[in-house]
Amino acid sequence: MQYQIMVDGKRVKVEIPIRKYSLEADNTAREQIIRHYLDEVGAKDVVIETAADELVRYAYDHGYKSIVITDCRSVQAFSESYREWSRLWKQYQKECRDTGKEAVLKDFLKIIYGFEGNLLTQDGKVFPVLIYVKNETGLRNLYKIVTASYLEYCNNKTPMIPRALLEQYRDGLLISELKETKEIPDFIFDDCSNLDDQIGYVRPLREGKYWPEYPDADKELREICERRVKELFGDKPNSEVRERMEQELNAICQNGYAGIYMLWRLIVKKSLDEGYPVGIRGAVGSSFVAYLCGITEINPLSYESGGYNIPLEVFMGLNLDKEPDIDINFSPVIQETVQNYIKDLPGVGETCYGGTISIKNGKKINGIHPGGIIVCPEGEELVSFTPLNHPHFGNKITTHFSYHDISNSLLKLDILGHDKYELLHFLQENTGMRIEDISLDDKKALDLIRDGSIPLIRDLPEFGSELVRKMIAETKPETFTDLIKIDAMSHGTEVWYGNQEEAVRNGEIKLSDCIASRDDIMLYLMGRNIDKNTAYQIMEYVRKGRGLNSEHRKIMKEAGIPEWYIKACKKIKYLFPKAHAVSYTMMAVRLAYYMIRYPEVYSEGLSAVG
């Protein structure tokens, strides 16, 4: 990436302290200070490895009128620069409001976005070309140029810009003449001497939500849920069932999330119709609506209503307005089929894979999210949000920007792969025993997990590792619910080892008392008459590894919370969501069922799945 600092449209001499971050073996950042100089006549090209946001912040702090950021063969610095500019602009607006002033955009720092690419002439010669973005039209045209250079005109991994392509999309762009490009005949360059006067304020990332519009999503989702409730709970469901369904449906529809649920319902149904089981990741199993419409098989209601006692707030937030983050595990065999199926769903337009950006040996590497599909609504173009490219190791099309940069605008559907769901597919197809017909309280399956009596137990996901086998030996689980506790603790950080293990070993507490998941904290505190808001806040503090503040400790002591519980909360660094643990424990018990009853088919399945 190159940069220039300008004041009143003129390049200036300036000394800029820049942080350079290097990934060490322990994944920590090491700071180096590098100084670059720009002379008064013209800035030399300065190639740096640094965060563009720091350059923007420096220019703002020093009162510069504008900063030119030019990325080379990429525009990935645009989003990073803009994020920091946007943060500073909001900060500036607040300062103006607080002092009674008007925030005027033309008085604020301007970023001039530039791109240096490889211009390919008709006779096959390659020249560097420097392009500046004048306005929004130019930005979209540059995104089209960058996209085509990566997808259609990439020569030996180097993206090229055919001259005809540049001329086709030059509206809204300034093309600067460089010393090397003087040899290009019949090409008209622009006067780029006064960039500030020619270039406006440009926003590289589109603001707002652009999600597919699923027709009649609210109405259809409600009808599906009401029909399913009647099937499961009869004509007169108890008050918990009715109230939970209404509470969720109202929140989902009021916040505009019904379409997401409907899309996921069809996606999961596609896999199940093909005979491939699925499982959830994360906390979506907290949603009763997700259960009713077939996204999950986890009933989150109380134990009395046949559920697993999982509070909705863990998934949708305290105010039930949190954007649904739904991650589903699919068999790798069906994963790409399901990903391609998304294009056929109501309201969906163009799609691509989420792109990632990493640094390796000082070079920027374009990668791909393992399952994230970026969805553009009908009537919109992906290239108006981000350029597109191929990842360095494949031909799939990904976002040129990191998927994080556009996650606030476009929907990402996480269609993830998990090989054990392929094994479950193999087993049910070759034994005739459907996984949904396996009792999760099957005594032989539970006994196998508890005592680990056969060598194959080491292959059992979630409960086969040496550390978890040790946890089982110390806690002596008896039920499926106990196994959920163990699974959740095994995924936490400083939850069991170095924390509650000692209290169990000393007989101070039992397995059923342990804090295993984030949900456990909220439910336990509410059961001790701590109000929901406070219980939720404490849960959030603890599950993120922030411990307890003095107010939390005071509230808990006044409520009679035992000291071991308070100490455990202070030590925890990360807590797993209960719904995720339920899903993984379901998977493990079903595999144990096949393992103990169909050992030959199970061994064959291991070989077949690999």
| Tens-place pLDDT, residues 553-602 | 999 999 999 999 999 999 999 999 999 999 999 999 999 999 999 999 99
Q: What is the pLDDT of residue 35?
A: 30
Residue 7, pLDDT > 80, answer no
Q: What is the pLDDT of residue 455?
A: 80
Whether residue 184 sits in one domain with residue 294: no
Q: pLDDT-derived band of residue 44, with 50, 70 and 90 as boundaries? A: very low
Inside any domain, residue 101:
yes
Range name among 62-76, 306-320, 333-347 with the lowest pLDDT average: 62-76
Q: pLDDT-derived band of residue 28, with 50, 70 and 90 as boundaries? A: very low
Residue 18, pLDDT > 90, answer no
What letter represents residue 72's amino acid? C
Whether residue 223 sits in one domain with residue 176: no
Residue 434 CB partners (closer than 8 Å, separation 6+):
428
Q: What is the pLDDT of residue 53?
A: 81
Q: Which of 164, 198, 232 is the last residue of a domain?
A: 198
Residue 412 domain boundaries: 208-417
Average pLDDT over residues 277-283: 96
How many C-beta atoms lie closer than 10 Å to residue 168's C-beta?
13
Residue 327, pLDDT > 70, answer yes
Model confidence pLDDT, tens digit, residues 498-536: 999 999 999 999 999 999 999 999 999 999 999 999 999
Q: pLDDT-derived band of residue 337, with 50, 70 and 90 as boundaries? A: very high
Whether residue 299 sits in one domain with residue 172: no
DSSP labels for 553-590? HHHHHHTT--HHHHHHHHH--B-B-HHHHHHHHHHHHH
Rounded to whole angstroms, the Cα distance separating 367 from 243 reads 45
Inside any domain, residue 384:
yes
For residue 610, the 8-state DSSP code is -
Average pLDDT over the chain reads 89
Whether residue 413 sits in one domain with residue 271: yes
Total-model pTM: 0.90
Name which residue leads in pLDDT, 355 or 64: 355
DSSP labels for 422-489? HHHHHHHHHH---GGGS-TT-HHHHHHHHH--SGGGGGSTTT-SHHHHHHHHHH---SHHHHHHHHHH
How many C-beta atoms lie closer than 10 Å to residue 32's C-beta?
11
Whether residue 264 sits in one domain with residue 362: yes
Whether residue 463 sits in one domain with residue 398: no
What letter represents residue 251's amino acid? A
Q: What is the pLDDT of residue 68?
A: 85
Q: What is the pLDDT of residue 4?
A: 53
Q: pLDDT-derived band of residue 71, with 50, 70 and 90 as boundaries? A: confident
Give the count of domains, the chain: 3
Whether residue 407 sits in one domain with residue 326: yes
Residue 283, pLDDT > 70, answer yes
Whether residue 127 sits in one domain with residue 10: yes
Inside any domain, residue 203:
no
Cα 361 to chain center, whole Å?
25
Q: Which of 356, 383, 417 is the last residue of a domain?
A: 417
Whether residue 45 sits in one domain with residue 87: yes
Inside any domain, residue 422:
no
Inside any domain, residue 429:
no
Cα dihedral 180, 183, 188, 193 sign: positive
Q: Considering the chain, what percentage of its residues have pLDDT values greater than 90?
A: 78
Residue 45, pLDDT > 70, answer no
Residue 116, pLDDT > 80, answer yes
Inside any domain, residue 426:
no
Q: pLDDT-derived band of residue 70, with 50, 70 and 90 as boundaries? A: confident
Average pLDDT over residues 343-366: 89
Whether residue 172 sits in one domain with residue 213: no
Q: Which of 388, 417, 446 is the last residue of a domain?
A: 417
Whether residue 255 sits in one domain with residue 111: no
Rounded to whole angstroms, the Cα distance separating 494 from 513 reads 16
Q: pLDDT-derived band of residue 36, with 50, 70 and 90 as boundaries? A: very low
Q: What is the pLDDT of residue 222?
A: 98
Model confidence pLDDT, tens digit, residues 183-237: 888 888 998 878 888 999 999 999 999 999 999 999 999 999 999 999 999 999 9
Rounded to whole angstroms, the Cα distance separating 443 from 438 reads 11
Backbone angles phi, psi at 411, to 5 degrees: -80, 135
Whether residue 386 sits in one domain with residue 321: yes
Inside any domain, residue 593:
yes
Q: pLDDT-derived band of residue 370, with 50, 70 and 90 as boundaries? A: confident
Q: Considering the chain, what percentage of its residues have pLDDT values greater than 70?
A: 91
Residue 453, pLDDT > 90, answer no
Q: Reduced to 3 states, what is the DSSP secondary structure of residue 87?
A: helix
Q: pLDDT-derived band of residue 405, with 50, 70 and 90 as boundaries? A: very high
Range name among 34-48, 312-326, 419-433, 576-590 with the lowest pLDDT average: 34-48
Q: What is the pLDDT of residue 10?
A: 56
Residue 32, pLDDT > 70, answer no
Inside any domain, residue 468:
yes
Rounded to whole angstroms, the Cα distance separating 553 from 530 reads 12
Q: pLDDT-derived band of residue 182, with 50, 70 and 90 as boundaries? A: confident
